[in-house]
Amino acid sequence: MAFIDWDKSLSVNVKEIDEQHKNLIGMINDLHTAMSKGKSKEIMGDLLIKMIEYADYHFKTEEELMEKFSYMGLFDHKREHIKFVERVINFNEKYKEGNIFLSVELLNFLKEWLKGHIMGTDKKYSEFFNNNGVY
């Protein structure tokens, strides 16, 4: 069983963004699987870099659509994205310093942030994008 299961409640009704969210969930599930096998330390460094890079790619997708259609919540949405990246960079710095208890804290942060962000913030733009022909 996955740590986070994708279901329709996480859909923002925009195929490209839903697929990107699924990829982010996959990364979180990979960390959980590695942790359950006692191998989180082996994948942590690569996973953090991959997460930062993919989140940047994903956030640009959302923000470009918001800019294109003059979405009113763009500023606040960008601010949430910036805070996420800063937090993951902070986790990466802790990892490099040898913090051995990092994986549980990181896993919980990623799960709570991503689900909360999708359900709370991203859902706000769903109808707006659909009304502008983005599905």
Distance CA 126, CA 134 (A): 9
Contact between residue 13 and residue 125 where contact means Cβ atoms under 8 Å apart: no
- Positive or negative: CA dihedral 15, 62, 129, 68: negative
Amino acid 44: pLDDT: 86
Query: What residues have CB less than 8 Å from 66, skipping those under 6 apart?
Result: 73, 74, 77, 125
Q: What is the pTM of this model?
A: 0.94
Ordered by where they begin, the domains of the chain are 14-129 (1.20.120.50)
Q: What is the pLDDT of residue 125?
A: 97
> Could you tell me the two tokens for 135?
């599905």
pLDDT at residue 65 in the model: 98
Say what the pLDDT of residue 43 is.
Answer: 87
What pLDDT is attached to residue 66? 98
Burial 88-114 (b: 16+ CB within 10 A, else e): beebbeebeeeeeebbeebbebbbebb
d(CA 108, CA 51): 15
* pLDDT tens for the chain, residues 1 to 135: 799 999 999 999 999 999 999 999 999 999 999 989 988 888 888 999 999 999 999 999 999 999 999 999 999 999 999 999 999 999 999 988 988 778 889 999 999 999 999 999 999 999 999 999 999
